[in-house]
Amino acid sequence: MLTISAPRAVVDGRMTGPVTVAVEGGVITSVTREDEAAAAAADIALPDGVLTAGLVDIQINGAFGVDFAAADDAQWDLVASRLPSTGVTSFQPTYITAPLGDLIPGLALAEAVRQRQEGGPYARILGVHLEGPFLSPSRHGVHEKRFLAEPTADAVDRILAAPAAEMLTMVTLAPELPGALAAVRRFADGGIRVSVGHTDATAAQITAAADEGATLVTHIFNAQRGLAHREPGVPGATMADRRFYCGLIADLHHVAGEVCLLVWRGARGRVVLVTDAIAAAGMPDGKYTLSGIPVVLEDGVPRNADGTIAGSALTLDLAVRNMISLGLPEAQVIEAASRVPADALGRTDVGRIAVGAKADLVWWSEGFHPRRTWVDGREVTAGAESAPALPAARETLAVSP
C-alpha cells in the first residue's frame, strides 16, 4: 500500500486539508481528511501545494508535434507519456472530419495503442471522439467541406458495426442535418455520448437533440449558431438546458475571458474544460498539420491558410490557470477539468479523489503548475524538469476600465 499526504487537496468539490490518500492495486482505498498525524506518517508527504485528481481531456487531436490522425506507435507513446506533465491522466483522442473509410480504422488503431500502453508510464486512452463528418456545411470551421456527410442509417451502421466499435465513446454532429436525430438516438442507445457541434441548429433543434439523447456541446460559442436575445442559438440552448455539459476551450483566444465567465455562470457545474489541442500544443511557433491540413502557429494561435482557427495550442493545466486567473474558485476549476468531464462520459472511476476510483493524482504548486503525477498509483512524471517547454500564453484577463 502507498500513502500520499498533502496540506491541501480537492475532494468532493471543495478545497480541504490536510488529506492522506491510501492506494492499493492502483485504486484509492481510503481518503483521510484533517488528520495531521496520518499526514506526517505518509509514505510521500507533500510539503506544500495542492493534491488533486488527474485531469481528463475529452477533446485532443494531438500535441507535442504529433497529429493523432497520422501518428505511428512511437508518436502515440510520446503524447501519452508527456500528457501527465500537464496534469492529464486520461484523454479521449479526437479524429476530425475525413471519409468514413479513413476514420473507422482509427478505432482499431486506438484500441491497439491502449492495449500496448496498459501498465506503462502513460496517460490512459478512454476511447475515441469522432468530431465529424456529420457537421454543418455552413459551420464547418477548419474541417474540410468536401468530406462532410449526412448521418444516414447506412453511415451509422458502418460505424456501429466496425471492428473495435466499442472504442467509440463520443460523436460530435450537427443535429439539424437530415437523419441526425435518428442517429443521435442510435448512438446514445449504444452508450456513445453525442455532442452537438459545428452546427447551425436553432434552440428548438438543440432541444430536440437532447430529447433523443444528446448530452454535450462541442467547444461552446465556436463553429455554431450564436447567442441572440430572441433566438438563443446553440450557446443559449445548451447553457439553459441542464441535460447538456458544455465543452469550453479556455485559451482566452477561442472564447474571451468575459464570455468564459458567462459560460461558467450559465452552465454552473456543467462546464467541461477541453483543449481541442493539435500537434502545435507544447511546441514553438511554426508549421504543423491537423489531419493533413497545413496549420501555422503564431502568437499561441494555430490557423489554416484562410485564417480560420484550427484547434488550439492549449494544455489543460494552462486552461486551469487561465480560469483561476479570472477569479473563479480553484477547487471548482479543477473539477471542471477532472470530475465533470469524467461524469460527462459516464466514467465515475476517474477524475476524482474517492474510494474505489483509480489512483490518478496530481501534485500542483501553489501557482497550479503540475509537479508530480500518478496514474493507477504509479508515478509517471516528477518535477518541473520533466515537463515539456510550453510557449508563452495568456494567463490573465485584461479588461479595459
DSSP string, 236-250: HHHHH-TT-EEEEE-
Domain that residue 380 falls in? 2-52+352-384
DSSP string, 261-319: HHHHHHTTT-EEEE--B-TTTTS-SEEEEETTEEEEEETTEEE-TTS-B-SB---HHHH
The tally of domains found in the chain comes to 2
Same domain, 33 and 122: no
Contact 87, 55 (CB under 8 A): yes
Instruction: Please report the pLDDT score of residue 83 as a whole number.
Output: 98
Q: 257-266 and 316-325 helices cross at what angle (nearest 10)? A: 90
Instruction: Please report the pLDDT score of residue 361 as a whole number.
Output: 98
Cell 518541473: give the residue: 384
Same domain, 241 and 93: yes
Q: Do the domain assignments include residue 336?
A: yes
Q: 180-189 and 203-212 helices cross at what angle (nearest 10)? A: 30
Active centre residues (catalytic): 276
Instruction: Please report the pLDDT score of residue 72 as a whole number.
Output: 97
pLDDT block averages, 10 residues each, the chain of length 401: 97 96 97 87 96 98 98 98 98 98 97 97 98 98 97 98 97 98 98 98 98 98 97 98 98 98 98 98 97 96 96 98 98 98 98 98 98 97 43 32 24
Mean pLDDT across the chain, nearest whole number?
Answer: 94
Contact 328, 264 (CB under 8 A): yes
Instruction: Please report the pLDDT score of residue 348 as a whole number.
Output: 97
Same domain, 38 and 22: yes
Instruction: List the end-to-end C-alpha distance of the chain, in Å, as a whole number.
Output: 54
Same domain, 90 and 208: yes
Q: What is each CA distance from 369 to 160, 312, 320, in whole angstroms?
A: 40, 19, 9
Whole-prediction pTM value?
Answer: 0.94
Q: Do the domain assignments include residue 401?
A: no
Instruction: Please report the pLDDT score of residue 382 as a whole number.
Output: 55
State pLDDT tens for residues 156-178: 999 999 999 999 999 999 999 99
Q: Do the domain assignments include residue 392?
A: no
Instruction: Please report the pLDDT score of residue 393 as a whole number.
Output: 33
Return phi, psi of residue 184, to 5°: -55, -45
DSSP string, 25-40: TTEEEEEEES-HHHHH
Q: Return the CATH number at 153.
A: 3.20.20.140
Q: Return the CATH number at 38.
A: 2.30.40.10
Instruction: Please report the pLDDT score of residue 397 as a whole number.
Output: 35
Q: Do the domain assignments include residue 362?
A: yes
DSSP 45: E
Q: Which of 319, 344, 369 is the last residue of a domain?
A: 344
Same domain, 211 and 124: yes
